[in-house]
Structure 1
Amino acid sequence: MSTISVKSIINDKTYQYIDNGEPKSGTAKNVYFSPDRKYVVAIFKEKQDFNQKERLKNIVTKYLNQIESKDAGQYYLEEIYRWPTDIVELNDKIGLIVPIYKPKFFFQTGYSSNDLIKGEEKNGKWFAGAKFRNKQFPLSLDSTELGKWLNYFQVCVNLARGVKKLHQMGLSHSDLSYNNVLVDPLTGSACMIDLDGLVVPGLYPAEVIGTADFIAPEVLSTKHLSKTDPNRKLPNRLTDLHALACLVYMYLLHRHPLKGSKVHDLDTEKDDLLSMGEKALFIEHPTDKSNILKIKDVSKWDAYWADATKLPYSITGPYLKLLFEKAFIEGLHNPMLRPTAEEWEIGLLKTTDLMQQCGNPSCEQKWYVFDNTNTPVCPFCGTKHKGTLPVLDFYYQFKPTVWRPENHRLMVYNNQYLFQWHVDRNISRNEKLSAEQKIPVGYFALYNNKWVLVNQKLNGLKDLTDNKEVKVGEMVELTDGKKILLSKEDGGRLILVTLANK
C-alpha cells in the first residue's frame, strides 16, 4: 500500500491518494480514496484526447464556477451533485478530483439476510426495481434501508432539480440512469454522480448513447446511422427528459414504463431495440393495450408492483398522471412534448401536499396519494381511512372580490404543517427558499375530535365564514364549507375546506 501524490493541471494544487492495488473499478475509471477520505481521485483507464480534456477542464472551472456563483449553489454541490473539482495528471493519464459521497449514501445494513453489501454505495438501481423490496427474495434489502413511499417523491424532486439546473446552464447529462445516481430513501436524498460526460450542444457532443432502459426511442431507432447523418439523433436535453420520466416512474412504481409483454421480433436483441426504440409503447397506454405487462411474464419477486391493474400509474395522483401521459404517450415519439424537469419538480411537490398517512401500522408504504373520493382507501394495503378528512383547496385573488381556484390542494392529517409557500403564491417551493421560509407558520391537529388550524406566525389569518380574525397562538376549526383567508398581503391565498369521509 502506498500514498501517491498527483498535481493539478489547472492550478498549483497537489492531491494524494492511497493505492492498495485494488481500486474501485468502473467502466471508464479507477477510483482511489484520499488519506483523509474527503475526496477520491478517479483516474481514466484510457488516454483522453484534446476534446475530452477540454470538456473536463470546462466542467471543473467554468461550469463549477457557474453553479457556485448562483443562488442555491451550495445546495446543489452539497445535496444534488458530486461535481468534479479539479483535474490531475499521472503518467500520461488524467484523473478527476471528486468530493466523497455523504455517509447516508452507503448501506448501513444492506441485505436482510446478510451484510454482504454493508458499506457499499447506494446505487440507484437497488431502489428502482421490485425484487429487492420483496421480503421473500433471497437478496432483498433490509426494511430499514427502504424508506416510505413519501420519501421516493423527494428522491425524484432532487433528480428533477439536478436535471433542471444542468439544462438552465445549457448542458445535458447524456447518460442519466439509475447507475449514475445515488439514492437514500430514508432521507429522500438523491445525488447525481459521474458528471464527466456532460454534453454542450455544438461544442462537446455525447460520447455514449446512454444506458439501456433509459435511452430515448429516437436515439435507439437511429443508432444504425452515421454520427454525421443529419437524421441521427444523439443524446441531448430532450433525451434527458425521457430518462428522467423513466426514473420517476420506476422509483414510484418499481417497474419500467415501456417493458411490457408485446413481442416485436423473435430475435431478443432486435425485439429490445424495437420495444425501446421505434415501436416503444407505454405499458399503461389507455387505448392501445397491446403492451400490457402480463403477470405470467414476470418473476414472482416482481409480481406485486408489476400488476398495473392493482397499482396503476394514476395512484401517483392527478398531477403526475398528466405528466406520465405527456412523457410516455404524447412525448414518447415526439420529444418536444416531453415534460420539462421543472414541470416534474412542481408536479411532485404538489403531489406531496396530497399525501395521506395509511392507518394500517403494518402497511409497507405508510403513505398514499388522496384519490379524490369521499371514502379514500390506501391502494397498497386496502385500508380505508377512518374519521373525517379535511381537504383544503387553494384560491387566489384574480381581481378584487374575484377568487379563482389554483388547481392545488392540501390534505390535512394530524400534525401536518402549513408553510409560507402555501400562504403566499409569490413564494415558490424550490431550492432557493431561505431558512426563514422553511419554518412552519401553522399546523393542523385533531383536537377534542375536531380538526383545527393553529396559527403560529400569521398576522393576517381570518375566518371569513365567521368574519373573525385568528391571532397568533389561536386556532380556527375546519368545518365543511369554511373559507379561511391565509394572508391579506398581495399574493395571499384563501382556502376552502371540504370534509371528506363524513
Structure 2
Amino acid sequence: MRVTTVSPFPFVPKRLEVEGPVFVGGEGEVYFSRCGNFVVKVYHDRALPPEKEELLRRVLALGKNLGEEASFLCWPVALVREIDGWRRIGVVTKRIPRPPFRELVDYIFSPREFKRAVEEGANWLNYLQVAHSIARTVAALHGKGCAHADLHFGNFLVDIRKGLAVLIDLDGLVVPGFLPPQVAGMMPFMAPEVVMGRETPNQRTDRHSLAVLVFHTLLLRNPLQPLVCYAEDPEEDERLGWGKMALFSEHPLDFRNRPERLGIPLFRRGVLSYRMLPPHLQELIERSFLEGLRSPEQRPLAREWERALFFTFFELWRCLRCTQYFPYPYWMPLPLRRCPFCGETVRHPHPVVCSVLERKGQGVLVASKRKIVLGHRFNLVAKMLHGQREDEILGEVQWKEGEGYVFSGVGHWQVVSPCGERRKVEPGERVLLGQNLLLVFGDFALRVEENGL
C-alpha cells in the first residue's frame, strides 16, 4: 500500500510503501514501511472524533525542537493524508529497531521474565538503568507541559543490556487548554481517581503511573495488585480493585494485598520488598502509594524519581554468590545485610559507607540524605557528589589487609580528622579511611560512616 504523508521534517518521504498490518488494536492498525525506517498508525474511521486530525497536528508541532530528547521520545514525525488514494487519518513515527529493543513487559511482567533475562546475561543493574531511563523520559515530557495519559509497560521499548527506554504512543498527549485527554490508560497503571471516573488524565495521574512503572521494573510486580475479590462481576471487581479499594501491597496496617513469601530471596521463590531499596527510594514509594494514592498532589515529581534513581547507582554492591548487583543495605543491622536475590550474607570486608555533604549558605558543609558505597578498586567519580554527568575521577579506594580501606586522590583535596584537624593532601597520597573522617573536594565532602571493619 502507498501512504501519502504531510510532515515538517525533510527526512520523512512524502510517499511511503507499507506492509501489514502488523498489529490491529482498538484505535487502529499499525504498518511498517518497506524501507524499514518508519511505523504508520492508521485510525479506525468508526467513532473517530472530528477534531482528531487537528489534535494530531498540534502534537506534531510540539515535537519540532526535541534535540537529544528525540532519542527517548518516539514523537510523531508526520501525518497520514491518504492510503492508496483514500482519505485516512493517522500518524508516522520512526521505527525503533527490534532487536535490540523489546517491550518492557517482556522483562518485568513477573520474576520469570527477570530470571530469563539473567540467563541471557542481564543483571538487576540493567533494570535500575531502565527505571532511571523511564523516569528521565517522563520528566522530559512533563517539562514540556505535556502528560502522556497512557503510561504502562507496553508503551516503553527497552534495550535491557544498555539500560535504555524509549516512550512510544505519543499521539494521545494531554496539554491543558491545548490537547484534551483522548485515552484513559491501562487499568493496573491508572491512577485510582481515573479508574473511578473522578478525574481525567493529567500530569498528576501520570506521576502515579510512573511510580507503578518504577516499582514494577525494580521489584517485578505491581505495587497495587488486588488479592481480594470485591464483586462477582469481573469488570466491576477489577474497577474496584484498582480504583475505590486500591491498596499498597506493603501497607503497614492493611495486609489485604500483601504477597506470600514477601521478603524471601527472589531465587528461592520469594517476592522482592521495597525495603530492599535505599531509604530515599523507599520514601518516594511511600509518598506515591501511601500518602499519594488518594492525594494526587503528594505524588513525587518525575524529576524526583530521576534524581533518586541516579544516585542509587552509587549505593550498589555485588553479590559474590549470584553476581547480582543490589543496593547495599547500610540501613539494616550488619547480620541482616543479605543479597535480596539469593540470600547470601555480605562477607567481610564490608564496603565503606559515606554520607555526602554539600556547601550551603555561608559555605558551611551540610549533610544530605545521600550515601555512597565504596569497595576495593572502586573509583570515586565527580558525578557521585554533584549529580552532573561528569566522569572525572577523584581517586580510588583499595583494601589493604591488616590496615583497612585506603583512599588515593588524583588531585588536591583536604581531609578533616574526627577531632577537627584539617590538612591538605597531595596527589597520590594514601589516606586510611577511619570512622568519621571527612574527605573534602571543593564544595562537596564525604564523611566516612562505616569503614568496612
TM-score by length of 1: 0.79
Instruction: Report the equivalent of 1:277.
Output: 243
Instruction: Report the equivalent of 1:228.
Output: none
Q: Is residue 2:74 matched to residue 1:82?
A: yes
Instruction: Report the equivalent of 2:56.
Output: 56
Out of 274, 279, 283, the residue aligned to residue 313 of structure 1 is 274
Quick one: distance in 2 between partners of 1:385 and 1:448?
Answer: 18
Partner-residue secondary structure (3-state), 1:206: coil
Q: Is residue 2:373 matched to residue 1:419?
A: no
Tell me if the contact between 1:5 and 1:16 (Cα under 8 Å) persists in the aligned partners: yes
Partner-residue secondary structure (3-state), 2:341: coil
Quick one: distance in 2 between partners of 1:25 and 1:303?
Answer: 40
After superposition, residues 184-333 of structure 1 pair within 5 angstroms as 184-222=159-197, 232-294=198-260, 304-305=269-270, 307=271, 311-333=272-294
Partner-residue secondary structure (3-state), 1:213: helix
Structure 1 residues 40 and 343 mapped into 2: Cα distance closer, same or farther (>3 Å)? same
Structure 1 residues 213 and 484 mapped into 2: Cα distance closer, same or farther (>3 Å)? same
Out of 480, 483, 499, the residue aligned to residue 438 of structure 2 is 483
Instruction: Give the Å deviation of 1:89.
Output: 1.2
Quick one: distance in 1 between partners of 2:152 and 2:191?
Answer: 11
Tell me if the contact between 2:20 and 2:31 (Cα under 8 Å) persists in the aligned partners: no
Instruction: Report the equivalent of 2:444.
Output: 493
Q: Partner amino acid for 1:304?
A: R
Structure 2 gaps of 5+ residues are none
**Greater shift in the superposed pair: 312-321 or 408-417:** 408-417
Instruction: Report the equivalent of 1:8.
Output: 6
The percentage of counterpart residues that share the same residue type is: 28
Tell me if the contact between 2:268 and 2:342 (Cα under 8 Å) persists in the aligned partners: no
Q: Is residue 2:416 matched to residue 1:464?
A: yes
Instruction: Report the equivalent of 2:134.
Output: 159
Quick one: distance in 1 between partners of 2:303 and 2:105?
Answer: 23
Instruction: Give the Å deviation of 1:150.
Output: 2.0
Tell me if the contact between 1:183 and 1:190 (Cα under 8 Å) persists in the aligned partners: yes
After superposition, residues 91-110 of structure 1 pair within 5 angstroms as 91-102=86-97, 106=99
Instruction: Give the Å deviation of 1:5.
Output: 5.4
Structure 1 residues 263 and 294 mapped into 2: Cα distance closer, same or farther (>3 Å)? farther
Instruction: Give the Å deviation of 1:321.
Output: 0.9
Structure 1 residues 342 and 7 mapped into 2: Cα distance closer, same or farther (>3 Å)? closer
Q: Partner amino acid for 1:486?
A: F
Tell me if the contact between 1:374 and 1:500 (Cα under 8 Å) persists in the aligned partners: no
Tell me if the contact between 1:262 and 1:292 (Cα under 8 Å) persists in the aligned partners: no
Quick one: distance in 2 between partners of 1:163 and 1:180?
Answer: 12
Deviations, residues 56-95 of structure 1 (Å, cap 9, x unaligned): 112222x1134x3xxxx31x211x2111112231121133
Quick one: distance in 2 between partners of 1:476 and 1:16?
Answer: 67
Quick one: distance in 2 between partners of 1:166 and 1:40?
Answer: 21
Instruction: Report the equivalent of 1:396.
Output: 358
Q: Comparing both structures, which one devotes a greater share of its residues to strand?
A: 2
Structure 1 residues 467 and 141 mapped into 2: Cα distance closer, same or farther (>3 Å)? closer
Instruction: Give the Å deviation of 1:398.
Output: 4.1
Tell me if the contact between 1:351 and 1:369 (Cα under 8 Å) persists in the aligned partners: no
Instruction: Give the Å deviation of 1:185.
Output: 2.4
Q: Partner amino acid for 2:142?
A: H
Deviations, residues 439-461 of structure 1 (Å, cap 9, x unaligned): 433333335674233333x44x1
Instruction: Give the Å deviation of 1:277.
Output: 0.4
Instruction: Report the equivalent of 1:31.
Output: 30
Instruction: Report the equivalent of 1:445.
Output: 398
Out of 316, 335, 350, the residue aligned to residue 355 of structure 1 is 316
Q: Is residue 2:328 matched to residue 1:366?
A: no
Tell me if the contact between 1:260 and 1:293 (Cα under 8 Å) persists in the aligned partners: no
Deviations, residues 273-311 of structure 1 (Å, cap 9, x unaligned): 111101111111001223323469xxxx99935x3xxx3
Structure 1 residues 252 and 22 mapped into 2: Cα distance closer, same or farther (>3 Å)? same
Q: Partner amino acid for 2:191?
A: A
Structure 1 gaps of 5+ residues are 108-120, 223-231
Tell me if the contact between 1:315 and 1:371 (Cα under 8 Å) persists in the aligned partners: no
Instruction: Give the Å deviation of 1:498.
Output: 2.8
Partner-residue secondary structure (3-state), 2:92: strand
Q: Partner amino acid for 2:340?
A: P
Q: Partner amino acid for 1:469?
A: K
Q: How many residues align?
A: 438
Q: Partner amino acid for 1:454?
A: S
Structure 1 residues 473 and 100 mapped into 2: Cα distance closer, same or farther (>3 Å)? farther
Q: Partner amino acid for 2:440?
A: L
Quick one: distance in 2 between partners of 1:23 and 1:279?
Answer: 38
